[in-house]
Structures are given as structure tokens and as C-alpha cells.
Amino acid sequence: MALRTAAQVGDRQFTPGSPRAWTIVAMLVVLMALNYADKLAFGLAATPIIDEFGLTLDEFGLAGSAFYLPFFITTLIVGFAADRVGSTRPLGAIAVLWGVAQLSMVAATGLGVILFSRLLLGASEGPTYGLVNHSAFSWLKESDRNLASSLLSAGGSIGVMIGAPVLTWLIVDHGWRSAFLYTGLASIAWCLAWFFIGREGPLSNRAPAASRATDEAPDTAETGAEGAEEAAAGTGSGAAAPAGPDASAAAPAHRIPSILRIIATPTFLAVSLAAFAGNWAIAVNLNFKPLYAEHVLNMTEQQISVFIVVGQLFITAAVYIGLGTLMKSLMGRGYSGRVSRGVLGGVCVVAAGVAFIGFVYAPGLYPRLACSVIGGIGLIAFPVGSTVIAQMAPVERRAGALGTYAAIYGLAGVIAPWFTGLVAEQAETQAAGLDNAFIFWGALTIVCGVVALVFTRPERDGRRLAAAAGGGGPAKSR
């Protein structure tokens, strides 16, 4: 049985998987929804912004890329800092900065203010995905993390589903600045609620030792063979050594693998490339898909809004919830992370790349829109990458590893909008240029998916990390 302490018996809400834990996850899902609503506002307001300030497509693409320029640096800095200070305070701080960034767009007078707003928003939103996963994982057992990470990713889709019609209405009826005003105020309101609700989880390395007892001595009746594997490997949910009177002495500092060892594993690099392709898709969709739909496909603002909502419904139901539940089921039945996460995730990313190319060549409006919707299946790369990294990395390195992961895939956001705008300007027509950029996007996604399919092997690389740090490795699973 797991060790019990007076604190745990008296306050069961601070145990892994408790109602309090899922309340935290729900708050983080809302934060992810606001994250994507903030980003969506810029794409939906593309036409009035371009018209008001006389921007070219490459200038607009530069403003889109500016969002991601500080992404890499802040994601790394905040990720490593969260290993020391926890995730609660950084999450509150970045939400306030989102609000400031969005409100600055309300007073925009030209490209300079737009670039400032996008840089500040990117700097503050960059660490979000790694932080929300780290925070959620500190409240949940390994068996719950696939579903939680999928729900967090689904939060982005929820933000787009709700944001698309609401922001479109605001832009059309009240001007494009109103979209930034209300998203900014919503981010600040979330921070006020987080002040009262947010806490470090019992499986965080920042939590008191007593509250981590459940994780340090897994109850096999609850976690089964999977929990026993984690306890042996010192990975996953944060178990670093067998529980007992000398538990703290049994986990000396040299037994924790360095962050460089973690990020140099083929698995880490493979899932990072898959997420790179996914983030390329997000950056292009948010910045150029509404513009493409309006000027090339001749869709109205309301039709674009419906199209966006349908796409996000598919992503939420089929990708994050459907595939997330399937992966959880496969893991529960004893299949390895290699099969249930690596193979399944890699196949989905490859399929997404094929769909993106199909979007260019499919005959007729509705087949093209169908290809665009199906392409969302590649976004499963985000929860797959987060859970695989948490499966390999010890809790003492988890935030830094997730931050590095987010920084790597964040580079796609720096390149994709600028590259897409540049290619579009070089072609004879805007439509031809965007089609060329979309074909490249599809080919890139296929390559990244194949890499993920072949090289994602969390059990193997987890054993190597444990062996290099002087510990044992997890038992094999089928």
C-alpha cells in the first residue's frame, strides 16, 4: 500500500487524481482556450489590418513570425525556471502579459506597434504548453496523463471554436480592435481566478515530501504494472527511488540524467520534429488560412467562421478525445509507448501531410475543405510528445525537458508565416504562391511524421537514461 501521512488523510484533495486535481486541469484547459483565441484574433482580423495599415503579404507574414521570435528563448528560460520555482506563479504572470499584449493592439498606429504586440504575446505565450502539461502532470498519475494532455491540447481547439464566431462578430460589427480588447481582458480575468485556485501538485518536486508519498511508493493495486515500471525506472510520474526510511538517501543527485542526455535521445528529437510539423500547421492556419479562404476560395466571414468551427470540432472529438482515449486504452492493455504513442502518432502525422497536399489538388471547394479538416489529425503530435517526454524524464528535469521541446517546435512558428508570405509574394498570383507554400508544408509534415514513426521509442531511451544515471530500466511491455 502507498504510504499515508496525516496531511493526506486530513486533506484528500491534494492527492493524485482527486477532484481538486481535475479542477486544476479544467483551469488549464481554459487557459489553453484563451491562448488560441488570442492568436486567432490576428488571423481573423488580417484583411482589415492589412487594409488599414497598407501592409504587403510579406510584411503581414513578418508580423506573424514576430510572435514566435522570442518564443524559443522564453520557453527555455521559463521551462528551466519552473523546475526550481514551480509552475503556478509563472502561469499567472504569463496570463497578465497576454492581456497587456492584446490591449496594446487596441492602440496600434502602424507596423511598429503591431510588431511590439506580437513580440510580447509570443514571449509570454511561448512557455504555456510546457507549463500547463508540467502543472497537470504534477497532479496526475501516469495512467491519467495521456487523457489530460489531450484535454489540454483540446483546450486550444475549444478556444478556436468559441473564438471564431465570437471574434468574427466583434470584428464585423464592432471593428477589429474590439477582438483584441476582449481577449486581453479575458486573460487578465483568468489570472485573478488562478490566484485563488492554482497550486503546485502533490507530485511536483516543489511539493512537500509528505504530499509526494503516494508517488514515491506506488500502490500497485491502483497503478498496476505500469506504476511498478515507473518506480523501477525512476521516470514518468516522478518516482526517483523506492520508498522507505532511507528513500531520500537512495536518490543521490548523480542518479538524475542531465537535460542534455534527455534532449539528445532519438525519441525526444523525433517527437519534437513531429510537433514542429504540427506547429507549422497552426502558424499557417492562424495567419493565412482565413485570408486564403476569403480571397482564393471566395468565402464570406461567416462561412470562414463555420469552417473553422467544423475543423476544431473534428480535432477535439476525433483527435484529442478519440485518439487520446485510444492511446490511454492501449497503454492500459499493456502496449508499449512505442506502439500506442510512437507508431500511432507517427501514422497520424504522415496522414496529415498527405491531406495538406490534397487541399491544393482536390477538385472543388468541399473536397478541399474536407482535406483541410482531416489534416488536423496531425495535431495529435503535441500530446504524444508531452506524454512521451514525461514518460522518459524524471520529475526534476520534466519542466526543462518540456520547455526545450516547446522551444524546438516553436521554431516552426518563426519560419512558417514569414516563409509562406515570402513564397506567396514571389509567385505570379497570390493563389499560386499560397498553393506552393501549402505543398511544401505537406511534404515537410510527411517527412517529420516518418521520423516520428521510426524513432519514437520511449521505453528503450528511458532505459538508456536510467542506465547512464546509474539506475535500472523499466520492464519491457508489448
**Quick one: cell of 72?**
524559443
Would the pTM count as exceeding 0.85?
no
**Quick one: cell of 61?**
507574414
Q: What is the pLDDT of residue 413?
A: 79
CATH number of 11-203+256-468: 1.20.1250.20
Q: Helices (DSSP H) in 126-265: which residue ranges?
A: 128-137, 142-174, 176-197, 213-216, 220-233, 259-263
Reference 140, options 75, 203, 98; nearest CA is 203
CB atoms within 10 A of CB 394: 27
Model confidence over 81-108: pLDDT tens digits?
A: 877 777 888 898 989 998 999 999 998 8
Q: Helices (DSSP H) in 86-126: which residue ranges?
A: 88-106, 111-125
Q: How many residues does the chain have?
A: 478
Q: What is the pLDDT of residue 291?
A: 80
Which stretches of the chain drop beneath a pLDDT of 50? Answer: 1-10, 208-253, 472-478
Cα–Cα distance for residue pair 166/133, rounded to 1 Å: 27
Query: What does the DSSP 8-state code read for residue 244?
Result: S
Sign of torsion over alpha carbons 285, 290, 291, 292: positive
Query: What does the DSSP 8-state code read for residue 339?
Result: I
**Quick one: cell of 90?**
509563472
Distances (CA, A) of 408 to 88, 176, 259, 401, 463: 23, 32, 14, 11, 24
DSSP string, 397-419: HHHHHHHHHHHHHHHHHHHHHHH
Q: What is the pLDDT of residue 234?
A: 36
